[in-house]
Structure 1
Amino acid sequence: MTAPAELDQRLAGMSPAELELLEQELRARLWQKRWDRWKPYPWQVPPDEVPTLGWWLQLGGRGTGKTDGCARYMVAHVNGPPCDPRLRGGHRMAIIAPTQGDAVEACVNGPSGLRAHDPRVVLRTTAGGTFARWPNGAEAKLFGSHTPDDVERLRAGGNRCLVWMEEVAAQRRLSEAITHSEMGLRIGPNPHYIGSTTPKPRKELVALKANPKVIVTQGRTRDAIHLPAEMRAHLIAKYAGTRIEKQELDGVLIEEIEGALWSMAGLDAARVGATPPLSSVVVAMDPAATSTDEADEMGIIVAGRGQQYIPDRNGFQRQHGYALDDLSGRMPPVEAARKAIAAYHQHKADAIVAEVNNGGEWIGTVVRQIDPTVNYRTVTASRGKVTRAEPVAALTEQGSAHIVGSLPDLEEQLTTWVPGDASPDRLDAYVWALTHLMLAPAGNLAAVA
């Protein structure tokens, strides 16, 4: 072993070019050491070959290393044969996540991201977008699929040899993301997708799973031995025998839930791409249990009622309802109020409607403190959740209640909630909104000055 003093002397005698070469060599050895140390789960082992324009799709429960497997695959792809030798680095790839921030956090910088498998990867933001880049010049451009602007960026996203779609089932504009990215899969002899997701009942995911060009691997949380055993045991014991266990832990794609008031087929049949002119818009809020409870979600749904009277499936002429946006999430009260107020102004809403039975009295106080110009109204539940939800579900069956585009988290709650279970906050906010716009008799809502 070389003594420290002798090593310092040898380093001091090197030129800058020699030091740079030494650093590159040490980095390469470190990367190779990390690379060789990785021990995959069986479901993280990719197929020998993915069909051209096909997929390798990892369905898995929580903690099964879906992101890890896709990051490893992309790094191996970069270090394999060039897809186009004319390109610097031989590869131009894309990473599409629910938002561009998710792509940065989970797919590049996170503990299972690209940099965990290859520390030479750097993140660069230029006028052309945000890229993960390798020293040899290969690159992966990062996209989101949340807003219309994201879709336009994908439309002009350029040609690629590999597309990684992260959390496929959570992407709001999934269909458009697939369409526009597929049109750019043109580089090399075998352009294709890799995908990672916890499954949700999305029609696009059902179609992918049934596609013969999609190779599916599936992992279960109970088999994820790298997770602490106590955590696995807790999750399995808590959700044993439930839909959550099948979907969130076993990675099973559940297409329909017996007893659910809404079905994905029904939502799809009523789905629209845009709204007609609207006569009224509301922002409905369903609070977490208390103003300090961040464990539960705050339900925030924007919905409108059309001006025109259009026949429903029964031939009855009526104004139709449209779910425009889902802003729900786990957040503190002030953030929830600010989101609702911003949506109120953005959509030129008539009111913010909030349920006050379940500790929601704080909403009016916070909203008035932030913006006293908002028209704020309260609703009080005089009937049970099932009694309130059934007429709204019937509107979907009749073809008079529509989701505009895709609201995957709301749709999952609608299609997986069975009466008798605790109803989730997105669903509750949606029910309040549609009830107010289409079903509430006069005087059912109280205006709050």
Structure 2
Amino acid sequence: MRHVAIIGSGPAGYYTAEAAQKHWGDDVRVDIFDTLPVPYGLIRTGVAPDHQSIKGVSRRYEATALTENVRFVGNVTVGTDVSVPELQSLYDAVVFATGAPHDRPLGLPGDDLANVFGSAAFVGWYNGHPQFAGLDPDLSGANAVVIGMGNVALDVARILAKTEAEFAESDIVAHALDALRGSNLRTITIVGRRGPHQIMMTPKELGELMHLERASPRVDPADLPEDAEDAILEPGLRKSVAHLRSFAAIPESERADKAIELDFDMYASPVRLLGESRVEAVEVERTTVEAGKASGTGETYTIPADLVVSCIGYRSSPIPDVPFDERAGRFANDEGRILPGLYCVGWAKRGPTGTIGTNRPDGFGVVEKIAEDLAAGVLGPGGKEGRTGFNALAEQRKLDIVTFRDWKKIEEAEAQAARQGAPREKFVDIEAMIRARG
């Protein structure tokens, strides 16, 4: 029997568990650990609440989770409740699938002003992550600035722009919906240091902006390259740029009925955040782009900002006894191998790149590497205790483990508490989650 511990219950973790099942069949036991009492990682707390179809992938993970040889071990923090060396003594392989839950620092003067947030915190707030449920952003001002030109920036801008009615079938949490209901925002500016041909926004997400009830997207026609230059772009990016061109062509008469302007400010690199105790404006430097790289021109101007959300990337969390690449913000690894018996997948391996589906080949690839290392004798003779040994350790330390069947009770309670039309009302407090399992 082979024993595998996976740290993190998001897509990378469950794809790895699925791969282990397919490789070893009934001859493997997989324990999936998570700090939270609930599974699915960013599917639950990162995917936008109005993108319910994307969250449907969790049904695939549930099929894996409900098998006898895969177990969810929630409410256990690796590095605190149990150490990595302890897990190594119990399991043949330990795989880190912890994602990248922390914001890459903005690193600009004024980024410590009030009402300035990173996207991990802000997205966690409206998605009900217990760590960020108390964030309490002030939406009483007229102007928001979102820094970044990827899909996360689009998500944040779209959520800020939507009406209450547009959240009818979403699982946005109550405290965020209440705050958005009282929002006074009139301008949302998405700031990026490069131009249309370098955006990381996908066509589907950009297209959604054309259907917002009270917001209209705006692009300065002067920021758009000549039409003929789009021919060199790969098809997806070409479609995204086509959306930007359509935004630039919206007549002013059509904008008049919209309460919120969603403005794309390209070739603009933030220099500093201005304000006394809370943010009041963002100073940016005009840029030019050559060979895909932006450089400053020395020309600066300010954008009014009562709220700033930085969407410039994420970092993994270091864990004691595991080599970490501080510069890259992920575990130090060679194609998924960290040290003998230690592996990583997903964002913990490669950084915050790719889609949910990108994690599937990662999971299957790391299982192949574990199998190779087992066959080569790198991981020792086997015979480790695995789940039985961890259960004894958990009992000794009085760890309150939450299982997948416990999670199903929590999920049922969330569904019962949902407002009309919504799939669930998430618990945003860990103790409340644990109480709900009965």
TM-score range, shorter chain: under 0.3
TM-score w.r.t. structure 1 length?
Answer: 0.27
Per chain length, whose mean CA-contact separation is higher, i.e. which structure has more relative contact order (CA < 8 Å, sep 6+)?
2
TM-score w.r.t. structure 2 length?
Answer: 0.27
